[in-house]
Amino acid sequence: MDDPQAAWRALSPEGLAAGILVITIIFSITTTVMLLLRAYIRTVHRLNGPEDYLMYIGGVLNLGHNAAVVYGCFTGIGTRDGKLNLPIMVEGAKTVTVWQLLYILSSPFIKVSICANLIRVAMKRRYIYPLKAMSGLAIAMSVMAFIVVFVQCRPFAASWTGQGKCISVDVIIIPTYVFSAANILVDWVVAILPAFIVWNLQLRRKLKLLSFGILGVGVLASIATIIRMPYIPSYAAKSDKLYKIGFIILWTVVELSLGILAGSLPSLRKFFKSLSKDQSTGEHGNMYGSDLVTIGGGNSAKPQRSAAYELNTTVVGRKSDSGDGNSDGVNDRDNDSTSRIIHVTRNVTQTREWERLR
């Protein structure tokens, strides 16, 4: 180890620290571009809603989180003790504390944004209630973690200086496991539940497969959290603490970034659709990016109706019980006809809402 009395100096990231630095920069650029495209698309089409603003806030906080990680790579995070002096260790520990707070703040905005997006599409209570519960859980866990970080040491600066009274790290690790487990639960529910929502929508097979692929990105975010869990005891490490915590930070960067990508990728479909329209003969006239027929559409050519439209609107009445083959179903019961009409309206609206989110 270097002279403990030497002044603080920036390190040159090597090994794990260099890997964290590169991955963080790559994800920072990717998520920033993704969010800018999302903001552009949603603003141009006047589609910005609460879920968009939540994601924008989460994205900005995530950039702050990544900035702390980048700075940490120069202050000892991901570096073994043999290359650190005491001032560097203190600065590294301070950076870890800042990173924790920014992670705790950004995570719920991203998760609640995705849940809010899905709630707009779900429509059915059996989907809406679990999504609202997951939103509440994400917020509750973040509040709990935020409090734990602030009360673990007195004074607060003792969290990185060690000069004060702190709760045993072994005790602090427990809520860390709880927080991670809750994140995994939220990620899996948010990733799996939409599969049932999409499956029941009258969408083209290609669009369904695309939707499943996007949702799969959300599953990868939860896998990053699972991979991170075995490294949680690193907070209590007696040696190479900043090096070992580097693995936790690395997978946190991956988790948050994949969450932003999973929540924003659907918007890019409308972006690439608009690009293809500029180079096409005008066959893509539907602003919803689908084959749904819109009443009053201005296309002169005969529109190509989607399976959803044909399936749910061509057969509204039914043959009468009299057996007259020429009956058009006018004499059917009012409640039966009404239920059919309501069913048609619900499916078309729900499908269009799913398309609108893309």
* Structure confidence at residue 298 as a pLDDT band (50, 70, 90): very low
To which H or E segment does residue 140 belong?
helix 125-151
> pTM of the predicted model, to two decimals?
0.74
Q: What percent of the chain has a predicted confidence (pLDDT) above 90? A: 49
Give the span between the Cα atoms of 153 and 120, in whole angstroms. Answer: 42
CA dihedral 9, 14, 17, 19 (to 10 degrees): 150
Q: Which of 87, 86, 88, 120 is nearest to 12 (CA)?
A: 88
Give the span between the Cα atoms of 4 and 1, in whole angstroms. Answer: 8
* Structure confidence at residue 347 as a pLDDT band (50, 70, 90): very low
Residue 289 has a pLDDT of 37
Give the span between the Cα atoms of 278 and 299, in whole angstroms. Answer: 16
Q: What is the mean pLDDT of the chain?
A: 77
Between 350 and 114, the more confident residue is 114
73-77, 120-124, 205-209, 215-219, range with greatest mean pLDDT:
73-77
Point out which residues pair with 165 in neighbouring strands. 154
**Burial (CB count <10 Å: 0-12, 13-18, 19+), residue 181:** middle
Complete domains list, the chain, with CATH: 16-279 (1.20.1070), 285-358 (no CATH)
To which H or E segment does residue 276 belong?
helix 241-279
Residue 109 has a pLDDT of 96
Mean pLDDT of 53-58: 96
Residue 130 has a pLDDT of 92
pLDDT digits (tens, 9 = 90+) for 147-162: 999 999 999 999 999 8
* Structure confidence at residue 97 as a pLDDT band (50, 70, 90): very high
* Structure confidence at residue 268 as a pLDDT band (50, 70, 90): confident
Give the span between the Cα atoms of 75 and 69, in whole angstroms. Answer: 10
Q: Which of 111, 95, 113, 109 is nearest to 249 (CA)?
A: 95
Structure tokens at 279: 């180079």
DSSP assignment string, 156-204: TTHHHH--SEE--HHHHHHHHHHHHHHHHHHHHHHHHHHHHHHHTS---
**6 by DSSP, 3-state: which?**
coil
Instruction: Match 């709880």 to its residue by tokens.
Output: 178
pLDDT digits (tens, 9 = 90+) for 219-265: 888 899 999 999 999 999 989 999 999 999 999 999 999 999 988 88
Give the span between the Cα atoms of 201 and 344, in whole angstroms. Answer: 12
* Structure confidence at residue 200 as a pLDDT band (50, 70, 90): low
